[in-house]
Each structure stands twice: as structure tokens, then as C-alpha cells.
Amino acid sequence: MKRFMRVALLVLCGLGLLQTALFTDEYLRFVKPGMRWLLIASGVVLVGLGVLEALSARLGRKERGRHEGHHEGPGEHDGHGHDHSRVPRVAWLLFLPVLSLLFYAPPALGSYTAAREPAKVVAVQDDGFDPLPATSPLPITLTGFTQRVQQDRSRAIKGRAVQLTGFVSPADGGGWYLTRILISCCAADATTLKVRVYGGTPPKADTWVTVTGTWHPGGTLGTSSAAVAVDARSLKKVRKPSNAYMDALPLG
């Protein structure tokens, strides 16, 4: 029974990791894409450990059959500093995340987290800004837009139609933000990028949308007093990207 529990725990842990990193891309809800191969390798190692444990149970039984009464039984490893055959009681807790990964993975962080965090401070772009491409409307990341609005002294963004993609998070007082959550290692260190959107009816929280609009005047453009906001001209629902934790341009 103890042996069975150990095998089950190890194999399920491995399968949980494989499920999240190999069979689906749900791991992107928790960690960065670069973790994928580490997770798959860990999953394989854990399944392997479980299989070895199951095999050693069968071998142990055969062995015992050969020299009767020689062994005290599978798992009883005499005199070792501490008994390795016991399943530590705390190990049962591993079932919680593992079953959750296998059958009931939670969604990526969304508007709940975004609403409770102040907007991230974007990096200062030291070496000036290139002229904006002429395409209109101009697809731009939330980081790019924030930098253009708050740091670009040439005010190239003024009057330009821009296209921003993110998910909806409610703002205090009825308005809403176009939002992206970024992570640097795992979802525990999430930071939030927000652009306030004016105009139009606010869509439901957590829906992914592409907003086309122009800079919403407020403060002095090109300085940190400028409002990071757009006047929306049009709104289009888009599919949620599989890697929600990055600030990428909308596809197509």
C-alpha cells in the first residue's frame, strides 16, 4: 500500500508536469516559456522514478521468493539512518497541485490581480526615439505607448491613431483599463501595465480586446505628467493569447 502511494505520487507528479508543459501550454499561465524543457525533463524523471519504484517492488518480490525469509520485506531497509520506505506524511500535500494541474488548472492572472496593483513603471528609453512608422492605425505595445506618451519629447504620438491589445480591467469610478500582466519568473512576481481607455461602453472584465484610438489629452505630452490614456474610436474582441504574460503586438 505504502509502495503504491509512492508510485502514484511520483507518477502523478510527473504526469502533472508533462500535462502542463508538453501536452498543453497551460504552463504559460504560471511560468515563462523558457521553463518548458526543464518542466518536461522533470516530468520524465518523476515518471521514471515512479516506474522504477514499481519495478523494484516486483523484483523485490521475486528476490524474496528465491531466498525465503532472507529479506524482511520490500521497503524495510535495515539500519539506514532514517527509513526511506515511509511516505512522508507531508508528501500527501503534493496531490493538491498535481491534481489541479491534471484536471482543473486555474486561468492566467487577470483583472482581479491587475485591479489591486499599481501600474508598473516602464523602463526609461535612454537613446532617443526612432520616428514612428507611417502605418495607420499604428499597432503598438502598451510599453511602447507608455514610453511614447511619457518620454518622447518630439511628441510624435500626438494625433496618431494607435492600436493596442490587452485585457479589460475595471478602474475605480466606472472606467476601465486596457491591461497586460507581465512576469519576470513566475506568476508570483506579476507586474501590471495599464492604459486608461475613454469612450465606448466598457466590455466585461477579462475580455481581450484591441482598441483603436488616439492619445487622450491630459498633462503635458512627453513628460511623466502625461496621462497614459486613449480615446477609443473602435473596439474589437480578440482571442486570448496562449502566453498572456507578455507585452506583444497583436497578431495580424
Partner 1 sequence: MRDTGIRGSGIPDFRDSETLEFGVVQARRQARAAEAAQEAQAAEAVSVRGLPRHWLLVLFGAAVLPGAVLVVVGRSLEEPAVQAWRTVCLAVTVQALPFLLLGTALSGAINAFVPASVFSRLLPKRPALAVPVAGVAGVVLPGCECASVPVANSLIGRGVTPAAAFAFLLSAPAINPVVLTATAVAFPGSPEMVLARLLASLVTAAAMGWLWLWLGREEWLRPAVRHTGHRAGHSRWEEFRQGFQHDFLHAGGFLVVGAMAAATFNVAVPRSVLDVFSGSPWLSVLFLAALAILLAVCSEADAFVAASLSGFSPVARLAFMVVGPMVDLKLIALQAGTFGRAFAVRFSSATVVVAVVCSAVVGGVLL
For residue 23, give every residue at least 6 positions away whose Cβ sits within 8 Å of its Cβ, in sequence order, or none. none
Residues 179-238 that bind partner 1 (CB under 8 A): 184-189, 191
164: which strand partners? 211
Least Cβ distance, residue 106 to partner 1 (angstroms): 4
* Residue 79: how many other CB atoms lie within 10 Å: 5
What does the block give as the cell for 43? 516530468
Size of the site for partner 1 (CB under 8 A): 63
3-state SS assignment for residue 168: strand
Q: Is 18 helix (H, G, I), strand (E, B) or coil?
A: helix
Nearer to partner 1, 52 or 248 (CB): 52
Binding to partner 1 (CB under 8 A) within 123-182 occurs at none
CA 39 → CA 14, 195, 243, distances in Å?
9, 34, 16
25, 33, 97, 243: residue in contact with partner 1 (rule CB under 8 A): 97
| The binder of partner 1 chosen from 11, 12, 17, 149 (CB under 8 A) | 17
* 107 binding partner 1? (CB under 8 A): yes
User: Quick one: which of 234, 238, 232 has its CA closest to 251?
Assistant: 238
CB of 52 to partner 1, least distance (A): 6
- Rounded Cα distance between 220 and 218, Å, is 7
Look-up of cell digits 487577470: 110
Please state the closest distance from residue 189 (CB atom) to partner 1, in A.
5
Q: What is the DSSP letter of 117?
A: S
* Nearest distance, CB of residue 180 and partner 1, angstroms: 14
| 55 binds partner 1 per the rule CB under 8 A | no
Note the residues at the interface with partner 1 (CB under 8 A): 6, 9-10, 13, 17, 20, 27, 29-31, 35, 38-39, 41-42, 45-46, 49, 52-53, 56, 77, 79-82, 84-94, 96-97, 100-101, 104-113, 116-118, 120-121, 184-189, 191
